[in-house]
Amino acid sequence: MPPSDSVSAYPATGQSQALRCAHCGADCPPEPVWVDEQPFCCNGCSSVYALLKENKLCNYYSLNSRPGQRAEADGQFDWLDQPEIAQQVLDFASDELAVVRFDLPQIHCSSCIWLLEQLGRLDPGILHSEVLFLEKKVIIRYNPKAITLGQVVALLHRIGYGPKLNLDSLNSSRKKVRFDGDMIAKLGVAGFCAGNIMLLSFADYLDPGRVDPDFLKLFGWLSALLAMPVVFYSGIDILTSAWKSVAIRRLNIDVPLALGIVSMLVLSLWELFTNTGTGYWDSLTALIFILLIARWLQQRNYAFLSFERDYRAYFPLSTQRVDADGRIATVPVSQLAIGDLIRVRNDEIIPTDGVLESDSASIDYSFLTGESQAVAVSRGQLIYAGGRNAGTALELLVHQTVDQSHLTQLWNHPAFSKPVENKFTGVLDRINRYFTPVALVLAVGSGLFWLVFDPGRALHAFMGVLIVACPCVLVLANPFTLGHIVRILGRWAFYLKGNQAVEQLAEADTIVFDKTGTLTQTQREAVKGHPYGVEWSAAEKSLLRTASSQSSHPLARAIDQYLAGSGLLSIDRFSELPGKGVEVQIGEHRVRLGSAALIAVPAELEAHEGQTHIEIDGVYRGYFESSQTLRPGVGQLLDVLSARYDLWLVSGDPHGRPEQWQRWFKAGQILMGQTPEQKLELVARLQREGRKVLMIGDGLNDAGALRQANAAISISDDASRFAPASDAILQGAAFGRLASFLQLARRHRRLIYTCFVFSGSYNVVGLYFATQGLLAPVIAALLMPLSSITVLSLATGLVWVEARRLGLLPAPKPDEDHILS
């Protein structure tokens, strides 16, 4: 990207009276650090700025609306330095070197990579840092004598890349690093051996029957030698998976495949030892190679997504405990005991159930209930884990340990642990159930037939049928088609959990939408000021902020945040009229903020819900509007979907406006004020009516319904977010294209059937000869890979055509930031 002028790239900070640090946005101390006529709050911020500027990376500031973040207090991360915690977080530790790996979902562009790989220049204690872009991770090596883990984390926070530290990261970093080098090695070995075997077989392909028998024999033995690692190293997973499924008396898709592999292996070895031929080594190895490619493609795009993370991923790792002597210590949440007093700051998650010790608090339970407005809680009331503190710092007496909290119990609700297997058995499993027995019966039947009438042909017939009937298409066409579809959708930031999810999406006939956070965007500070008459002056803004800062009402909090740039004044009198608004006397000014019930609104303005009106000294001065905005493209999307699907809308929000949705949802299919249990019950009821339900929601409050539904999509603006029980994660930005995505998924079955018909004709012809024991080894050897390759090209080609028709190709490239970030 082009280097930008460093000064113009800055957000204007003019409206505020106090100086804001140009890097982190915090208020500057009386004597700020001045660099380039920009104020900075501390040397740390100015040095980050200097480093960025020196390298012409000030674009960093225009990329990010909330650039550098300052660690809230010095020593905030000191608890990470406790040996037992550090030991759990670090990958490796010695006296001179420590290695740590952080998830940084913020990584989204090349300047992120650049900045994070320059950490060593910000602090010499950091020896080396390396970004894994696709996994959104950074690996940092540092010298523990020069810098502590807590300082590393604080440094990352300061440059705006605060790592996610939650209970899950304690455990996951203990796990072995999930890089599948093994898969690549297996793929490479299979490709290597298959390629060499093909070279050796080439003479026989070109001029069958006339190659010197001595050479043929040598080539056969060499091929056999090369094929062994393919079967017993590369293909071992297929064999073991088939064996396991037979052991529990089920036929999975690997069984016919393993049967084909084993029969080809046995027949080839038989021919070699009895001197009756050279075997089918090329077919055998090519089959395994192509199969591994299919599996590898399947796994590839999913390195950084996690679908089934549990509540631990959501909990913070540490909290502030207030000790008996009033000192505040940061401790890991796992060390909290009943009776501890903890402090939860604004915007932090309540880590465990507790009784409020502060006078009042407002808690945002939207994650648990979907209710978008914060709940007021007063001293002595119980606050549940999972809520978010929407007010000032509060103190809480721990009532339950983290393991026993409300959120943990909700997670452990039976609906969440419903096994996935019951949900769906693929078309293929159904076909497969008949396919394998039929192929076996045919093979044994023709073998026995020829044993009676012409024993010389019996073995050829038996093996020939098994080889020809080997379900290449069954096994290969489906993962290739699905894999291709999944990959195209993934490029549009619609991440499916696995290939199976395509089928599940295709089957749906009813869609249940969650409202908050799904159709509408949850924006914490979704407040807009609408001045009436002239624009508000700076003095008026200060008055408004002062008035709103006095109230604990969520709307007032939001307005306070909206006006955060304005100064605070001292007040003379304050009164709150519950349900109506506030009245504040500030000097000689009288400010009233509230609903239309309190304030006379000029007739030409249409007063409606979600507005907070303003009156200063008896003059109407406009209103603040807080509303949940529709996601872009939702209107058109619902237009398209309502033509085909039965649509339902459920919302945990009791005050939503149903009339806004009546255009798309039938009367009686808009349900407001639903609890998570009611949502789940609705989905279950629809299913009892015989419908296939696709649930689209976000977050934990929908998790029960997501799990219950036949297919579930969770909407997220952050791919690494918690997505319980869903089959797919759809990023908010791509939501408008959902109809095309579903259409592509629905086409899948037709594509597969086309492939089946095509390869079925192959098989019928092949079987016609094979059952008669007439199938010459050379023909079989040619027919097999030829059939696989044709079917594979057909499958990918058809998907390509369909995707283009739906406008999903050409898809954005993975590094296009607006989709991925």
In the complex, which residues of this chain contact other proteins (CB under 8 A)? Answer: 55, 110, 113-114, 117-121, 124, 127-135, 179, 181, 184-185, 188-189, 192, 196, 212, 215, 218, 222, 814-815
**What span, in angstroms and rounded, lies between the C-alpha atoms of 358 and 343?**
10
Q: How far is the CB of 815 from other proteins (least distance, A)?
A: 8
Residue 10 or residue 221: which is nearer to other proteins going by CB? 221
Closest CA relative to residue 553, chosen from 522, 523, 593, 589: 593
List Cβ neighbours of 113 (8 Å cut-off, separation of 6 or more): 107, 131, 133
Closer to other proteins at the Cβ: 144 or 676? 144
Q: How far is the CB of 219 from other proteins (least distance, A)?
A: 9
Q: Which amino acid is at 792?
A: L
Phi-psi region of 352 (alpha: psi -120 to 50; beta: other; left: phi over 0): beta
Cβ closer to other proteins: 110 or 660?
110
Single-letter amino acid, residue 187: L
In angstroms, give the least distance from the CB of 179 to other proteins: 5
Q: How far is the CB of 478 from other proteins (least distance, A)?
A: 26
Print burial letters for 608-643: b (CB count within 10 Å at least 16), e (below 16): eebbbbbbbeeebbbbbebebeebeebeebbeebee
Q: How far is the CB of 730 from other proteins (least distance, A)?
A: 22
Name the nearest CA neighbour of 152 among 105, 176, 116.
Answer: 116
* Smallest distance, other proteins to C-beta of residue 137, A: 9
Helix runs in 64-180, H state only = 83-89, 110-116, 119-122, 149-158, 167-172
Q: What stretch of H or E contains 581? A: strand 581-586
Q: Rounded to the nearest whole angstrom, what is the least distance from the CB of residue 60 to other proteins in the complex?
A: 14
Closest separation in Å from C-beta 499 to other proteins: 22
Q: Return the number of the residue (483 or 594) whose C-beta is nearest other proteins.
A: 483
Q: Which is nearer to other proteins, 116 or 784 (CB)?
A: 116
Q: In angstroms, give the least distance from the CB of 76 to other proteins.
A: 26
Q: Between 11 and 124, name the residue whose CB sits nearer to other proteins.
A: 124
For other proteins, the closer CB: 132 or 451 = 132
Query: Please, which residues have CB within 8 angstroms of residue 183's CB and are 6 or more apart in sequence?
Result: 292, 295, 296, 299
The smaller minimum CB distance to other proteins, of residues 227 and 415, is found at: 227
Give whichever of 116 and 742 is closer to other proteins, judged by the CB atom: 116
722 Cβ neighbours under 8 A, 6+ residues apart: 309, 313, 314, 699, 700
| Residue closer to other proteins (CB basis): 119 or 154 | 119
Q: 738, 528 in Cβ contact below 8 A? A: no
The widest CA-to-CA distance across the chain, in whole angstroms, is 114
Q: 236 or 539, CB closer to other proteins?
A: 236
Provide the minimum distance between the beta carbon of 155 and other proteins in the complex, in angstroms, as a whole number: 14
Report residue 5: phi and psi, to 5°: -65, 130
* Least Å from the CB of residue 230 to other proteins: 13
Min CB(158)–other proteins separation in Å: 18
Alpha carbons 481 and 800: distance in angstroms, whole number: 10
Of 270 and 302, the one with the shorter C-beta distance to other proteins is 302
Annotate 698-757 with DSSP letters as a single string. Answer: -TGGGHHHHHHSSEEEEEESSTTS--TT-SEEEEGGGGGGHHHHHHHHHHHHHHHHHHHH
Give the CA dihedral 307, 310, 313, 316, nearest 10 degrees: 160
Angle between helix 213-229 and 254-273 (nearest 10):
140
- C-alpha distances (whole Å) from 112 to each of 153, 493, 668 are 16, 20, 48
- CA dist 103 and 122 (Å) reads 20
Residue 191 or 386: which CB sits closer to other proteins?
A: 191
Give 612's strand partners. 624
CB of 98 to other proteins, least distance (A): 15
